[in-house]
Amino acid sequence: MPDLSVNFCGVRSPNPFWLASGPPTNTAHQVMHAFEEGWGGAVWKTIGEPIINTASRYGAVDLKNVRMMGLNNIELISDRPIEVNFREISEVKKRFPHNAVIASLMVESRRESWQEITHRANDSGADMVELNFGCPHGMSERGMGAAVGQVPDYAAMITAWVKEAATIPVIVKLTPNVTDIAHMAAAVAAAGADAVSLVNTFNSIVGVDLDTFSPCPQVQGHGSHGGYCGPAIKPIALHMVSSVARHPGAQIPISGIGGVGAWRDAVEFMLLGATSVQVCTAAMHFGFRIVREMAAGLDEYLREKGMASAMDLIGRSLPRIMDWGDLNLNYKTIARIDAEKCIGCNLCYIACEDGAHQCITSDARPAADLRHGPIPKHVPKILDDECVGCNLCSLVCPVPGCISMIEVDTGRPAMTWRQLQEARGKSPMCDMRDLLAKGGVAGD
């Protein structure tokens, strides 16, 4: 059987599926229930000086029939006393010694405050601490959260303070509301961070009520920017995780966050460099039981790939990520339509004609004439010589497997943009298309 456990900074977790710091990890009752269902770890809802939260707190973006494609929240850190949170962490670790329990921390930017709460985390029995440098609303206005995570020197300074006091691994949770998150990861790594987690939520206003004019969610007719999460942010989170994993100055473990709701999502994050994945929105939407399908799916996937351990996944896709300028410009694909599967909806033709490169034709539908037998099936046609291989048609097609992209042998050698620029520099009068066809110029 594949081993689903992961080793994160020396802490063993039964599987890579952790609950992220948030509403699902607010109490011992919730965390213990989650562990009973099969979650490998949990990051406690951020502990600090208790605050008062608002009502309402959540807003969502739906995509047609998909509810909560994106979730916005204006909720802040724990509104429960610090001593209660740490006491409950101790209780959870006694009952579930083999699960990873991480204390998320946030206090004012003073060495004494950070070191005092770190000592309390050490004493609670937590396996690790996570420094919340990501919250983009409420706390950032108080000089905490993203206000720290957006300034490399501040983030590094507080990380160093915590490392002076910590006897357990220190994870730094990064905000995505920066120009270069990999630069931030390198800064905290240099300051001694044992790991990073990313991404936290994106600054957002998810909508406005067109009747009352109030931003959503609304508090007595008013609103504020909040943190955006859920399936909608996964593509951006994947990019950011991969950029951190590839940065030479940030070679420390990564806990991936952002739109994870199924085992496939988790595998993608791990292939791009994450050792564990954190889940919040999906648990809020569907409950803790989703982890059962996630674990079963991961187990089956590892079996199919002949892998003995979930740790074998980490970073396997990173060598396949490169800068655009290093991609082969002479690689070509064209679309193929399976006439048997085609339902004649014409979506591919419309998309290509109006939104892409006019490489598909669609004859007028034949009129019904029962005297001459059944009506011929209506199937759009690909113009092979015109098709640029953009694959928009395959993305809009509603029938799985109906449109596929087929590689075409151009007979040309591989040529990247960088090579093209070098070749053109040697022969500035040459047309780039000629250079592509020839594979460069003499001496390349």
Buried-state track 91-103, b at ≥16 Cβ within 10 A, e below 16: ebbeebeebbbbb
Around Cβ 262, how many Cβ atoms within 10 Å? 17
Q: Decide: helix, strand or coil at residue 344.
A: coil
Around Cβ 414, how many Cβ atoms within 10 Å? 11
* Domains of the chain, earliest start first: 6-319 (3.20.20.70), 324-408 (3.30.70.20), 417-444 (no CATH)
Choosing from 135, 229, 359, 387, the catalytic residue is 135
Rounded Cα gap, residues 69 and 58, in angstroms? 13
Rounded Cα gap, residues 48 and 209, in angstroms? 33
pLDDT for 119: 98
- Yes or no: say if 200 and 181 are a contact pair by the CB < 8 Å rule: no
Rounded Cα gap, residues 194 and 163, in angstroms? 9
pLDDT, block means (10 residues), the chain with 444 residues: 97 98 98 98 96 92 92 94 98 98 96 98 98 86 85 96 98 96 98 98 95 94 93 97 98 98 98 98 98 98 98 98 95 96 95 97 70 74 96 97 96 91 77 75 46
pLDDT for 429: 67
pLDDT for 275: 98
pLDDT for 422: 87
> Has 135 been annotated as catalytic?
yes
pTM, rounded to two decimals: 0.93
User: What is the dihedral sign for C-alpha 70, 75, 76, 82?
Assistant: negative
- Yes or no: say if 135 and 46 are a contact pair by the CB < 8 Å rule: yes
Around Cβ 406, how many Cβ atoms within 10 Å? 13
Residue 303 CB partners (closer than 8 Å, separation 6+): 2
Q: To which residue do tokens 């081993």 refer?
A: 3
pLDDT for 368: 60
- Yes or no: say if 255 and 274 are a contact pair by the CB < 8 Å rule: yes
pLDDT for 356: 97
pLDDT for 137: 82
Q: Decide: helix, strand or coil at residue 178.
A: coil
Burial tier of 273 (Cβ tally within 10 Å: 0-12, 13-18, 19+): buried
Rounded Cα gap, residues 89 and 404, in angstroms? 52
